[in-house]
């Protein structure tokens, strides 16, 4: 196997494992919170905890990636992921214990994905960014599909699964993640001129359309987070089996995998801007309809449509940034995007958590749909290059 191909395989494996662990621990934390009778408004705060510390560390993580290399950052994130599982296991059974575990998990996830995304951006060739990030996010969606599926193994027939078993599974997978990070070797790239400190960030902020793209990215990611937290809450409200909710989360991830696997072709066929508008609009409509009292099969169909739409926004903004940012600043470009994402993960779930206190989980999904509709309209003003060049 050639060096670049071997690196890609290792990055995809690491990305998949990262998301498996994250998508086991986060629903498990929600179910543990329900076990502890944590109020619905606190679920939004629990979601925001995933992003608070990473919000402060995102830009330094990007700077560290550009300076010290992707491998070291990925390895640090892997060790923190193992620690997160351990915190959930040994922390006191309280809201504060869940907050501590979620904060460590969010930090671990940040370091892993910054290193992974910078490695993909620095190894993909010109004109291949859409396909490369489509494959990368496909691997992430694969992990997001496997993670909730493990809920079934821990008591999917019950409304509340065995959360301790889920924490044990995630901790064991954290050890595997650390081992999988060891053989990753990313060729060093020359640093961009003026790439140090604030100068590098200023050059990134001057990229036309950057802020609009960051807003779109953060709202789409927050919508994924909200489904991860409030679909279980909706199921608990309606006395749906945990296994069915796990199935819905898996279907959403599988649908996102499909759209991401085809992203390169779709972007060349329709252009990035039109594809972004259509996908976010589809997500908004599906999200609004999921909160309605519908039969199980209809909800499943809507979740599939939601996954197809939500799967496109993240890789499109990644590939756009990779193509416009200088090679020596791509770690910081990805971290800047993640800063916006984490800000959205703090503000948006906290806001919808207040909504939940009055209208419940279904109202949260409706409010999130409105936010998606707003950024779909904003995407009309996003200036992109049209269809990317054909790959060679």
pLDDT at residue 176 is higher than 90: yes
Q: Whose CA is closest to 242, among 333, 337, 149?
A: 149
pLDDT at residue 60 is higher than 80: yes
Across 132-136, 138-142, 283-287, the highest mean pLDDT is recorded for 283-287
- Give the pLDDT confidence score for residue 390 in this predicted structure: 40
pLDDT at residue 186 is higher than 90: no
Backbone angles phi, psi at 73, to 5 degrees: -70, -40
Spell out the long-range contacts of 132-136 with Cβ–Cβ below 8 A and sequence spacing 24 or more.
132/319, 133/263, 133/315, 133/316, 133/318, 133/319, 133/322, 134/260, 134/261, 134/262, 134/263, 134/264, 134/315, 134/319, 135/8, 135/12, 135/260, 135/261, 136/11, 136/12, 136/15, 136/315, 136/318
The better pLDDT of the pair 100, 392 is held by 100
The better pLDDT of the pair 326, 366 is held by 366
Q: Are 29 and 46 in contact (CB under 8 A)?
A: yes
The better pLDDT of the pair 388, 219 is held by 219
pLDDT at residue 342 is higher than 80: no
Chain segment 21-57, per-residue pLDDT in tens:
998 998 888 888 888 887 766 777 777 778 777 778 8
Q: Whose CA is closest to 140, among 249, 282, 14, 283?
A: 14
- Give the pLDDT confidence score for residue 200 in this predicted structure: 61
pLDDT, mean of residues 251-258: 87
Q: Whose CA is closest to 89, among 32, 131, 43?
A: 32
Q: What percent of the chain has pLDDT over 90?
A: 21
Phi-psi region of 9 (alpha: psi -120 to 50; beta: other; left: phi over 0): alpha
The better pLDDT of the pair 152, 82 is held by 82
- Give the pLDDT confidence score for residue 371 in this predicted structure: 87
pLDDT at residue 94 is higher than 80: no
Cβ neighbours of 256 (radius 10 Å): 29
- Give the pLDDT confidence score for residue 306 in this predicted structure: 94
- Give the pLDDT confidence score for residue 340 in this predicted structure: 81
Q: How confident is the model at residue 278 (pLDDT cuts 50, 70, 90)?
A: very high
Lowest mean pLDDT among 11-15, 195-199, 212-216, 235-239: 195-199
């Amino acid at each position: 196997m050639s060096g670049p191909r071997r690196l890609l395989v290792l990055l995809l494996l690491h990305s998949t494992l990262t998301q498996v662990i994250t998508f086991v621990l986060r629903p498990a934390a929600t179910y543990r919170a329900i076990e502890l009778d944590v109020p619905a408004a606190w679920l939004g705060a629990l979601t925001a905890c995933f992003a608070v510390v990473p919000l402060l560390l995102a830009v330094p993580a990007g700077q560290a990636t550009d300076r010290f290399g992707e491998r070291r950052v990925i390895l640090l994130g892997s060790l923190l992921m193992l620690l997160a599982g351990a915190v959930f296991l040994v922390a006191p059974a309280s809201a504060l214990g869940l907050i501590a575990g979620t904060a460590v998990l969010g930090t671990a996830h940040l370091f892993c994905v910054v290193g992974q995304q910078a490695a993909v951006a620095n190894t993909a060739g010109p004109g291949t960014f859409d396909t490369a990030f489509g494959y990368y996010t496909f691997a992430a969606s694969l992990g997001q599909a496997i993670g909730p599926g493990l809920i079934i193994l821990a008591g999917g027939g019950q409304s509340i699964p065995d959360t301790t078993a889920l924490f044990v599974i995630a901790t064991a997978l954290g050890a595997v993640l650390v081992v999988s990070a060891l053989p990753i070797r990313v060729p060093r790239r020359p640093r961009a001129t003026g790439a140090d400190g604030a100068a590098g960030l200023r050059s990134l902020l001057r990229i036309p359309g950057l802020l609009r793209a960051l807003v779109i990215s953060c709202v789409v990611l927050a919508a994924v987070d909200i489904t991860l937290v409030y679909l279980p809450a909706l199921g608990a409200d309606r006395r749906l089996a945990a296994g069915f909710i796990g199935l819905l989360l898996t279907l959403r991830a599988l649908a996102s995998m499909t759209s991401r696997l085809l992203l390169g072709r779709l972007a060349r066929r329709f252009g990035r801007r039109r594809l972004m508008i259509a996908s976010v609009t589809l997500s908004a409509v599906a999200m609004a309809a999921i909160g309605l009292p519908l039969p199980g099969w209809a909800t499943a169909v809507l979740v599939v449509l939601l996954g197809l739409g939500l799967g496109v926004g993240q890789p499109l903004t990644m590939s756009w940034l990779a193509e416009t940012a200088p090679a020596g600043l791509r770690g910081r470009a990805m971290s800047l995007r993640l800063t916006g994402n984490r800000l959205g993960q703090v503000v948006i779930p906290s806001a919808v958590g207040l909504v939940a206190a009055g209208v419940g989980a279904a109202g949260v999904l409706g409010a999130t749909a409105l936010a998606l509709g707003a950024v779909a309209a904003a995407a009309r003003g996003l200036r992109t290059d049209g269809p990317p060049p054909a790959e060679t």
